[in-house]
Amino acid sequence: MAVRQHHDGALRILRPHYLDESGQVCYVVINPGGAYLGGDRYLIELDVAPGADLLLTTQSATKIYRTPNDRAEQHMRISLGAGSRLELLPDPLIAYREASYGQVTCVDMDPTASLVMAEVVTPGWSPDGGYFRYDEIRLRNEISIGGRLTVLDNLLIRPGSGSPVDGSAFMGACTHLGSLLVVDARVNSTLADDLHALLAPKDDGGRLGVTLLDGPGLALRALSRSTEQLNAMLGAAVDLLRKRWHGQEPLNLRKY
């Protein structure tokens, strides 16, 4: 349970609860306003104490509506103490027509800490029924281990811009993107191979890549035309890690 917690402005945090008998505490961030709008700025700071075990999620999808004058932004600052563990598992990020959004997550972790971060980016509904109507999504993750910047993960999607970061340039016919970053001393090539074998798309046009990092850690990217498929893939990856490293059963966040 948190030693200290504070919220101010639009975001709120619910009281802690426990999903199993492992002792891992779960907190849920909610946005009573329902969406991020142009000019919104959000800051989330986490300090996970040595030996602590935290799962942080959201109550529902993060929705980005039209941002005609200024993009919406979210910044996260995370500190992980020795032997601590953080699973950051938000619901999907949904960007609607003419939305522009920037998200920066900075993590400073002890070499003995464990980090799992998931993200699914989904195009929102458009009046003409078309996908890829948002303007820009920027996702940047900076992970320092023992005070040294070790992982820099920078994703930029600008649908329809005609530039090298045009969504259609690297996503092809896919419209949804899933990402999983794992930084943990137990990551190795066997784990990467196991995840690839478990999650490889079955002739449905999806794509999957798993890359080992120097952390040690791994980065997983998946492309699809379905939020449900990406949720299932990332969920299966998280469940494998929870079972193999912590003896926990498949995750059930029980939100609905």
pLDDT tens for residues 20-40? 999 999 999 998 888 999 999
Token readout for 239 is 């469940």
Beta bridge partners of 178: 120, 222
Q: Which residue has the tokens 């907190």?
A: 27
Lowest mean pLDDT of 76-80, 109-113, 199-203, 221-225, name the range.
Answer: 199-203
Percent of the chain whose predicted confidence (pLDDT) is above 70: 90
Strands 148-157 and 100-109: unpaired
Residue 110: CB atoms within 10 A of its CB come to 17
- DSSP reduced 3-state for 66: coil
Q: Is the pLDDT of residue 162 over 50?
A: no
Asked if 177 and 208 touch (Cβ cutoff 8 Å), the reply is no
Q: Provide the residue ranges of all domains of the chain, joining segments of one domain with +.
A: 16-26+38-246
Asked if 215 and 186 touch (Cβ cutoff 8 Å), the reply is no
Token readout for 22 is 């492992």
Q: What is the pLDDT of residue 174?
A: 82
Asked if 98 and 67 touch (Cβ cutoff 8 Å), the reply is yes
Instruction: Specify the higher pLDDT residue, 127 or 112.
Output: 112
Average pLDDT for residues 180-191, to the nearest whole number?
98
Report which DSSP code applies to 36.
Answer: B
**In this predicted model, what pLDDT tens digit does every residue of 115-149 receive, in sequence order?**
999 999 999 876 766 666 789 999 999 999 999 99
Q: Is the pLDDT of residue 163 over 50?
A: no
pLDDT averaged over the chain?
Answer: 90
Q: What is the pLDDT of residue 253?
A: 84
Phi/psi of residue 41, nearest 5 degrees: -130, 125
Q: Where are the beta strands (DSSP E) in the chain?
A: 12-13, 17-18, 25-30, 41-48, 53-58, 62-64, 72-80, 85-88, 93-95, 100-109, 114-123, 136-145, 148-157, 176-183, 207-213, 217-224
Report which DSSP code applies to 128.
Answer: T
Token readout for 152 is 């820099």
Query: What is the rounded distance in angstroms from the CA atom of residue 87 to the CA atom of residue 235?
Result: 12
